[in-house]
Amino acid sequence: HGWALPPARSRTRALIDASLAERGIEPVVTLTSQNPDVLRQVAAVGLALTVLPAAVGGNDPSLRDVLGEAVALRPLTMMRRESAPDDARVAALGRLARDMVRLTGAAPPAP
């Protein structure tokens, strides 16, 4: 099977390529798309293998997890405008993110 992956110059693709290379996998890419739903659909009908966020592919009964583990973790940054007023919801989200880092053992962001 060929692979359906994000475009070659995207950050997501770089993370996927590096992770697959660590596992000795050299994908032959036959289709690229920025849209994860397109990648999911191509894999669901059996035209290609793909790597998807769990939120996109995890509940699709026509797909199965081949590796049984996360292929890549993508760093996210929480930002807001400097002059924005304090917001309890933003503070709560920040606490939740820090708690998840502690609970999962994920590396905290560099200062």
Model confidence over 34-43: pLDDT tens digits?
999 999 999 9
pLDDT given for residue 100 in this prediction: 80
Structure tokens at 91: 């503070």
Give residue 93's identity as a one-letter amino acid code.
Answer: L
Model confidence over 61-72: pLDDT tens digits?
787 777 777 777
Q: Where are the domains of the chain?
A: 2-57, 76-111
Model confidence over 10-29: pLDDT tens digits?
988 999 999 999 989 899 99
pTM: 0.66
Model confidence over 86-104: pLDDT tens digits?
889 988 988 888 888 888 7
Q: Are 51 and 71 in contact (CB under 8 A)?
A: yes
Please give the DSSP secondary-structure letter assigned to residue 59: T
